[in-house]
Structure 1
């Protein structure tokens, strides 16, 4: 009898484990959305990186193959001849040195000026502060070409034409840099810290140097990358103010002045070399740049 009952119990159908209704469908939908989003990210990454890859790979291709219409995704022949010709040019190193001087001075001094101005607009209270800041913002909306003639007259009257100072001075007070640092300071620096320093007897400059400045390192690092990038790629200012001296963008532009000689291989190699300082700077300051962008975008 007992064995019969056990057999009967074994033959009874078991209920399937209950699962929440729609759970598997919801999980499947989430996976599909994740795959679609990742797919779009991969497509965007490929579209962004492919032109850079094509530029770098083409820079190692001989001149005859570059001018050939049938270029390959993976070239068969690689050569350093294009870079050797660019580096052997008598104007390469002087123009590279001039661009480094201009970019470094603009980066350091411009970041210092923008940080002080941003701190004043964010934490100091003085008459006309809001109006003055609105004027700074309004200057960002004016095309640079509008003020180019006026700046040229001022630079000429100062006797700075054909000098690197003519390229440096107009970039030392960037309106966007002031706006960047004001937003970052408002987000990262609490008013209580500054008030505590004032109560302890610290001057405004001492409070800024000892308390505020260490907090602003990520924002300053991000600003310095932006300043270096904008100054390193600046073409209009040196093209307008320099006659004998050349910066690196002017050097690349001068390679195009030989219409009878195909210089595409030289332009490509010189363009790749211009990317090296920017890539190195971004690699060493990537974390600070990203954190500076994130913190500056929180509060408007």
Structure 2
């Protein structure tokens, strides 16, 4: 008998290769997952690069800025940049004022927009479609168009250069970006089963009690999304805050970290001239440190509420801005 000594060559299976690379109905393929993760890494790098650059530069002394061999990692973590930036921005006082300026209108936004959204979702009344059209149009309308008429109106009401310029519109459901918040609540409350509302009415609950006991507890995801979006938009708003609250003509005692960052160079130069040699000259590292201090509270808040925020966005069916 003739002994077989040959080696059996593997046969290329096109269907199996395609299944491994592209996947099937039950499992995603390696090639498809690789493309997805590559796109996510590229998109994430685009968003993370400015933040990583800012963090790296904020810890660099001026010698590292002048040394071309130092790119990302500083020779030592120079915390004096943050100390000097915090002194220039009067950080703790400005931080408390920022929380008040962003927090109080945000709470009013949540309360009033939820009431208005519930009214649009649960009640039919004359002129409802027209009011919804006006609501959407006011959201599309650029804020620059209504900025000066609002300034004149607030001046006549004598609420300029105070927190009332943000509280008064938010109380009337016309706060910053309140239109999209009303639409979020409107869409969410439409998904609440009507049978629950009718059952509460059978048990003797009125309109307000049904709203508080049935609608609000089920709207926790929408409330969290509106709260986070609103406080971020109020926190980051510099021009309207400086125009209405801080004072464009006559200065008030109110300011925010973002407004202080906007005037950081002038404030730091004045502080440096008063302090003499105790503070270094203005450089890129100190600017980056000031920027980090202005966004640090938002980053901490996002890291704490990240899981709840992602789940809430998924349940409310929005993508954010």
What's 1:166 paired with?
Answer: 165
Matched, 1:177 2:176: no
- Three-state SS of the structure 2 residue aligned to 1:163 is coil
How far apart are residue 272 of structure 1 and its match?
Answer: 0.8
What's 1:42 paired with?
Answer: 41
TM value normalised by structure 2: 0.80
What's 1:27 paired with?
Answer: 20
**Mapped contact 1:59–1:268 kept (Cα < 8 A):** yes
Aligned residue pairs, count: 288
TM value normalised by structure 1: 0.85
Matched, 1:285 2:305: yes
Q: Could you say what the CA RMSD is over the residues aligned between the two structures, in angstroms? A: 2.9
Matched, 1:207 2:210: yes
Cα distance in structure 2, aligned partners of 1:165 and 1:232: 16
Cα distance in structure 1, aligned partners of 2:12 and 2:199: 58
Matches within 5 A, 1:205-244: 205-241=208-244, 242=246, 243-244=251-252
Cα distance in structure 1, aligned partners of 2:97 and 2:267: 23
Query: Which stretch shifts more, 236-245 or 149-158?
Result: 236-245
Cα distance in structure 2, aligned partners of 1:83 and 1:40: 35
- Three-state SS of the structure 2 residue aligned to 1:89 is helix
**Mapped contact 1:184–1:292 kept (Cα < 8 A):** no
- Three-state SS of the structure 1 residue aligned to 2:263 is helix
Matched, 1:147 2:140: no
**Mapped contact 1:198–1:207 kept (Cα < 8 A):** yes
- Three-state SS of the structure 1 residue aligned to 2:78 is coil
> Larger Cα Rg: Structure 1 or Structure 2?
1
Cα distance in structure 2, aligned partners of 1:252 and 1:258: 9
How far apart are residue 184 of structure 1 and its match?
Answer: 1.9
What's 2:266 paired with?
Answer: 257
> Which segments of 5 or more consecutive residues in structure 2 lack a partner in the other structure?
23-28, 270-280
> Which segments of 5 or more consecutive residues in structure 1 lack a partner in the other structure?
1-6
**Mapped contact 1:118–1:181 kept (Cα < 8 A):** yes
Cα distance in structure 2, aligned partners of 1:267 and 1:123: 50
What's 2:120 paired with?
Answer: 121
Cα distance in structure 1, aligned partners of 2:57 and 2:89: 24
Are residues 170 and 271 of structure 1, via their aligned partners in 2, closer, same or farther at CA, if it must alter by over 3 Å? Answer: farther
- Three-state SS of the structure 1 residue aligned to 2:262 is helix
What's 1:269 paired with?
Answer: 289
**Mapped contact 1:219–1:289 kept (Cα < 8 A):** no
Query: Which stretch shifts more, 178-187 or 88-97?
Result: 88-97
How far apart are residue 135 of structure 1 and its match?
Answer: 0.8
What's 1:4 paired with?
Answer: none
Cα distance in structure 2, aligned partners of 1:272 and 1:168: 28
Cα distance in structure 1, aligned partners of 2:12 and 2:262: 68
**Mapped contact 1:222–1:288 kept (Cα < 8 A):** no
